[in-house]
Amino acid sequence: MELRARQEARLRALIRWAYDTVPYYRRVMHETRVLPDNIRGINDLPLLPVLRRRDVKVHLDALTSERAGKRDLLPTVTSGTSAEPLGFYRDRRTVPFEQATKWHSMEWAGVTPADSHLMLTMDRVLERTSQVTWWGRMVGGASIPLEVLYSREPDPVVEILDRVAPAVVLGYPSLLHLLAQAVLRSGRPLRTRPRCIFYQAEQMGEDTRGLIARAFGAPIFSRYGAAELSGLVGQTCDRGRWHLNTEGFVVEVVGGEPGDPHGMPASNGRLVITDLRNHAMPLIRYEIGDMGTAAGEEKCPCGRTLPLLGGLEGRIWEWVVTAVGLRIPAIILQRTMRLHIDLLWEYQFRQDRPEVLEVAVVPVGDYGEDRQEELARALQAVLGGGTAVRVTPVSHIPREASGKRPVMKSTLHQGR
Ligand SMILES: [Zn+2]
């Protein structure tokens, strides 16, 4: 209860600040006739509309606090996968807080920033702001050249792992997937096993999880954050449950279609996040583009009292739309990909219309038509009738500029 009281005190202060100093919110609050005194706590937040990406794009200046000094504004761009990049301001005074959230997440996994790290990322934003990277270099961490991973040659990968002997391996699931494949293909055991694996920025399917477990035998932790936000919003504990950071954020799960400005509480739906730390450009009820499920009243068996999130289901555009209008998160289909996990380096789902789901696969060796059909049939069984599945072998899957490889490329879910 004390956590909630602290969180709501910060929320009231933010709303008041936004009304007093941010033209956009002043206008919205006048239009909706919701004044700062009407927002007494989290339950009152749905009185305010959802802030969409396009609102940020159009009203960038009006969303900036009149009292933010030039030095407070940290210009940032979302790394974006299939979404267009979005420019916005973070509050420079939150950088230490962001760092603290990252280091704190390590403590839950039983490691410290002083342990050796192996980073699998090319995210420039992360490079610039991440003290972990800087610190990692100081204490003997390293990042793996992505060309090495992409080359799909196992030996150089294992050599780097043996040389760095990382206690912690961090990266996007799609890169961890390649790393684990390389280790398994090399056929020799690692000299030192990492003590934990961290991932963020993409969902991890059960196929990847299984590979990592076989390759490293280390527990897997996840963190949830975004370039727009002042720190990590949540992290998983050793029981695999998501705990939310009440010191920095209010996370709501709301119903409605992507981009719907009305957002009422729902058991699953869009994640809408209020950043309690960014006073330079407040984000209140910001639709981040992820889907999730709310948690019930139950407590986590780990004993921590930070509130829970039921689950994260990935970016809105990482959902398959079937011919009969069902929406299925790509993460569900990834389960089926376990069937051929040892035959494929990696894969990507692609969809431009509900009648067809394309699956680009990078085979390890021979992957004939019978295999392709077997996979297509298994995926089809998940999707139901009306949507055909086409499996196409390719030599590689292109990366985004950030180094991410989204599990799903869809033009059907661009609602933001
Ligand atoms: Zn827990």
Q: What global pTM score does this model have?
A: 0.87
Distance 240 CA to ligand 1 centre (A): 7
Reported as a pLDDT band with limits 50, 70 and 90, residue 181 is: very high
pLDDT at 64: 97
Say how far residue 157 (Cα) sits from the centre of its chain.
Answer: 25
Report pLDDT digits (tens) over 208-223: 999 999 999 999 999 9
Distance 308 CA to ligand 1 centre (A): 8
Average pLDDT score, the chain = 89
Distance CA(132)–CA(262), nearest Å, equals 38
Distance 305 CA to ligand 1 centre (A): 8
For residue 183, pLDDT over 50 is answered with yes
Distance 399 CA to ligand 1 centre (A): 34
CATH number of the domain at 322-410, please?
A: 3.30.300.30
Report pLDDT digits (tens) over 268-321: 999 999 999 999 999 999 999 899 999 988 899 999 999 999 998 877 768 898
Q: How large is the average pLDDT for residues 226-239?
A: 95
For residue 191, pLDDT over 80 is answered with yes
pLDDT at 413: 65
pLDDT at 140: 54
Report pLDDT digits (tens) over 13-26: 999 999 999 999 99
pLDDT at 134: 54
Distance 50 CA to ligand 1 centre (A): 29
Residues with CB under 5 A from ligand 1 (ion): 237, 239, 241, 300, 302, 304
Distance 373 CA to ligand 1 centre (A): 41
Reported as a pLDDT band with limits 50, 70 and 90, residue 385 is: confident
Report pLDDT digits (tens) over 311-364: 988 777 688 989 988 888 888 899 899 999 999 999 999 999 999 999 999 999
Distance 235 CA to ligand 1 centre (A): 9
Reported as a pLDDT band with limits 50, 70 and 90, residue 227 is: confident
Distance 110 CA to ligand 1 centre (A): 14
Query: What class does CATH assign to 110-218?
Result: alpha beta
Reported as a pLDDT band with limits 50, 70 and 90, residue 83 is: low
Report pLDDT digits (tens) over 118-137: 888 654 333 433 444 555 55
Task: Tell me how crowded residue 130 is: count the other CB atoms within 10 A of its CB.
Answer: 18
Which architecture characterizes domain 2-96+225-316 according to CATH?
A: 3-Layer(aba) Sandwich (3.40)
Q: What residue segments make up the domains of the chain, in order of their start? A: 2-96+225-316, 110-218, 322-410
Distance 252 CA to ligand 1 centre (A): 19
For residue 416, pLDDT over 70 is answered with no
Distance 200 CA to ligand 1 centre (A): 18
Distance 108 CA to ligand 1 centre (A): 10
Distance 345 CA to ligand 1 centre (A): 33
Q: How large is the average pLDDT for residues 254-265?
A: 93
Q: How large is the average pLDDT for residues 163-174?
A: 89
Asked which of 61-75, 130-144, 154-168, 201-215 is least confident by mean pLDDT, the reply is 130-144
Distance 236 CA to ligand 1 centre (A): 7
Distance 393 CA to ligand 1 centre (A): 41
Distance 169 CA to ligand 1 centre (A): 21
Distance 300 CA to ligand 1 centre (A): 5
Whether 2-96+225-316 shares its CATH topology with 322-410 is answered no
Report pLDDT digits (tens) over 32-74: 999 999 999 999 999 999 999 889 989 999 999 999 999 999 9
Distance 353 CA to ligand 1 centre (A): 40
